[in-house]
Amino acid sequence: MVHKSVAKKLGLSSPEDPLRIKWTNDMCCDENESRRVSMEIDGGEKGKRFHLQNARTVSRMSLPCQS
Protein backbone atom coordinates (compact mmCIF):
# COMPACT_ATOMS: atom_id res chain seq x y z
CA MET A 1 0.00 0.00 0.00
CA VAL A 2 1.05 3.55 -0.66
CA HIS A 3 -0.69 6.70 0.52
CA LYS A 4 -2.46 8.42 -2.38
CA SER A 5 -0.69 11.73 -1.63
CA VAL A 6 2.70 10.04 -2.13
CA ALA A 7 1.55 8.52 -5.43
CA LYS A 8 0.32 11.94 -6.55
CA LYS A 9 3.65 13.62 -5.66
CA LEU A 10 5.48 10.94 -7.66
CA GLY A 11 3.19 11.52 -10.65
CA LEU A 12 1.81 7.97 -10.52
CA SER A 13 -1.64 7.50 -11.99
CA SER A 14 -3.92 4.80 -13.32
CA PRO A 15 -7.67 4.20 -13.56
CA GLU A 16 -9.56 3.95 -10.28
CA ASP A 17 -9.94 0.38 -9.04
CA PRO A 18 -12.00 0.16 -5.82
CA LEU A 19 -10.44 -1.83 -2.98
CA ARG A 20 -11.98 -3.42 0.11
CA ILE A 21 -9.62 -4.22 2.95
CA LYS A 22 -10.85 -6.67 5.56
CA TRP A 23 -9.15 -6.82 8.96
CA THR A 24 -9.66 -9.02 11.97
CA ASN A 25 -13.12 -9.20 13.56
CA ASP A 26 -14.65 -8.59 10.10
CA MET A 27 -13.67 -4.91 10.14
CA CYS A 28 -13.74 -3.54 6.58
CA CYS A 29 -12.43 -0.43 4.92
CA ASP A 30 -13.55 0.60 1.44
CA GLU A 31 -11.13 2.61 -0.69
CA ASN A 32 -13.35 3.56 -3.63
CA GLU A 33 -10.71 5.78 -5.26
CA SER A 34 -7.84 3.29 -4.96
CA ARG A 35 -5.51 2.85 -7.92
CA ARG A 36 -2.90 0.25 -8.88
CA VAL A 37 0.49 1.89 -9.32
CA SER A 38 3.97 0.60 -10.02
CA MET A 39 7.25 2.22 -9.09
CA GLU A 40 10.89 1.62 -8.40
CA ILE A 41 12.49 2.72 -5.15
CA ASP A 42 16.14 3.11 -4.23
CA GLY A 43 17.32 1.44 -1.04
CA GLY A 44 20.05 4.01 -0.48
CA GLU A 45 22.87 1.57 -1.17
CA LYS A 46 24.51 1.46 -4.57
CA GLY A 47 22.71 -1.03 -6.76
CA LYS A 48 19.86 -1.68 -4.33
CA ARG A 49 16.64 -0.94 -6.21
CA PHE A 50 13.26 -2.44 -5.51
CA HIS A 51 10.40 -2.80 -7.98
CA LEU A 52 6.88 -2.43 -6.62
CA GLN A 53 4.18 -3.52 -9.02
CA ASN A 54 0.44 -3.09 -8.56
CA ALA A 55 0.80 -1.33 -5.20
CA ARG A 56 -2.59 -0.08 -4.07
CA THR A 57 -3.18 3.55 -3.14
CA VAL A 58 -5.16 4.32 0.01
CA SER A 59 -6.42 7.57 1.49
CA ARG A 60 -5.99 6.47 5.11
CA MET A 61 -2.98 4.64 6.56
CA SER A 62 -4.39 4.10 10.05
CA LEU A 63 -2.76 0.74 10.59
CA PRO A 64 -3.25 -1.02 13.94
CA CYS A 65 -0.35 -1.40 16.36
CA GLN A 66 1.67 -4.58 15.92
CA SER A 67 3.01 -6.73 18.73
10 Å CB burial of residue 46 (0-12, 13-18, 19+) is exposed
Residues 6+ apart with CB under 8 A from 23: 29, 64
Phi, psi angles (nearest 5°) of residue 6: -70, -45
* pLDDT confidence of residue 34: 97
Encode pLDDT of 2-51 as tens digits: 999 999 999 999 999 999 999 888 889 899 999 999 999 988 878 789 99
> What single letter denotes the amino acid at residue 2?
V
Domain segments of the chain as ranges: 2-58
Give CA 9 to chain center in angstroms: 13
Do the Cβ atoms of 46 and 39 come closer than 8 Å? Answer: no
